[in-house]
Structure formats: structure tokens, C-alpha cells
Homo-oligomer: A and B are copies of this chain.
Amino acid sequence: MNDAIIKQHVYEANMQLPKNNLVKLTWGNVSVIDRDKGIICIKPSGVPYSKMRPEDMVITDLDGKPFDNQLKPSSDLATHVYLYQHMDNVQSIVHTHSLHAVAYAQAGRDIPAYGTTHADTFYGPVPCTRSLTEAEVATDYELNTGKVIVETFEQRQINPAAIPAVIVNQHGPFIFGKSLKKAVEHTIILEEVAEMAMKSELLKQDMNEIDRFLLDKHYFRKHGATAYYGQ
């Protein structure tokens, strides 16, 4: 796959964010990695979706160094690079400021797994990171955002292949996938289950998480060797 095709695919994935009402203005970004070719492709920084073109996407090496004669990459690139370096089974990353996922981030809360809609995609609560320290924000902020995400998955002993999203405290969600298509799908679903969770809490105090065996059933109905959903 040559560069023009990768840029086209990354462009189309990015355009899904405003189309699905997950970002405003220039917010958010989608990237993909091709580990064999040794490249990452990501949205440029601060370009409005309405004016963005496929050729504006930025290609970098695996350390996030852009090749020559391109626009500046998303300011969140360093987060994406660190995540690709430490999450082998992630091939695409999305960052948004979608409304209900951000509300959970601002509240500093995990998105609880309350029902089968959540369980079909996320094998447990979507974790919220700790807040970054002043030192972590002052220097290498975007890199440290990647580090606190990896720390969260490691400390909780969860796998981004099984729970392909995280909420960065006071900030917003990062979403993962084994492909651009899957990462964008998970992004749409994350926002939907965040809204469902918030509204469930309005209907009942002291909500319970979904029964563990029902979580298992729905997750494994769609994922892994025993899956039987889809064609």
C-alpha cells in the first residue's frame, strides 16, 4: 500500500469523527501504524475538517519524525507513538472530545459496564487514568499522556485488545483498534455507552455492573475463537 492510499484511508477515518458528531472544529485525530513499512500516518494539527484533504495527512517514522515537506502533525502525535511502541496489538488510535466520554473524564470516573451494549465491545469498565502530576504536564506532556495510559492498562492488568479505550483524567478518550475501521467503530460505541451509562445512573442510584457471566457471553459471542456473530 503506497503513501497516497494510506493518507486516503486515514483521511476517511478522520472524517468519520465530525460525521458521527464526535468532535467540533479541529478537535480529535485518528492515526494508523504500518509496522512492516515502518510508518505512522496521522491527521495534521489544527486543520478544520471542512478544509482537510487526503494529502494533508502526515506520515512519520516509528519514532514520530515526519518525513519532509508535509504539514505539522497533530500535537497529540507523541501520545500515539508511545502507545504504538507499548501496545503491540494496536494498529490504529483515535482521540476525540466526544461529549459523554469527556464528561466521565472530567468526573475522573471509569465508564462502568452496565449492559450488553457495552459488553459487546468492551470486556469490562473503560478505565480512567490517574491525573498527571505537575511535573508530567510541564515536560513532555503528550509523551506522559501515553505513559499514564500504558500504566493504567498494566496496573489494572487489562489488555487494549479486550478493552480498546481509555479515558484520560480531566481530558478525554483515546480509542484503539486493530484497524482504522475498528478504531473508529469503537469510538462511536464508546460515546454511545458513555451516554447510556450516564442516563442509567439518572434512573437508578447505586447501579450494579452487568453480571459477569452476561459480560462474558456477549463479549465472547462477538470476539475470539468461539464468536458466532457476523458473517
Contact = CB atoms under 8 A, between A and B. Distances in A.
Interface of A: 24-27, 44-47, 71-72, 75, 97, 99-100, 102-109, 114-117, 131-132, 134, 137-138, 141, 170-172, 185, 188-189, 192, 195-204, 207, 210-211, 213-214, 217, 221, 228-231
A172 B137 contact: no
Nearest to A217: B137
Contact of A75 (B26, B134, B198, B228): B228
A203 B25 contact: no
Contacts of A207: 106-107
Contact of A231 (B44, B109, B221, B229): B44
Contact of A115 (B171, B217, B229): B171
21 contacts: A24-B188, A24-B192, A25-B185, A26-B230, A45-B231, A75-B228, A99-B196, A103-B196, A103-B202, A106-B114, A106-B203, A107-B200, A107-B204, A107-B207, A114-B170, A115-B170, A115-B171, A138-B213, A138-B217, A141-B217, A202-B202
A198 B202 contact: yes
A106 B201 CA distance: 9
Given A103-B199, A204-B108, A211-B134, A116 B171 contact: yes
A137 B45 contact: no
B172 A116 contact: yes
Given A26-B230, A46-B231, 14 more contacts: A25-B185, A27-B117, A72-B231, A97-B192, A99-B195, A102-B115, A106-B196, A106-B200, A117-B172, A131-B211, A137-B211, A198-B199, A198-B202, A201-B202
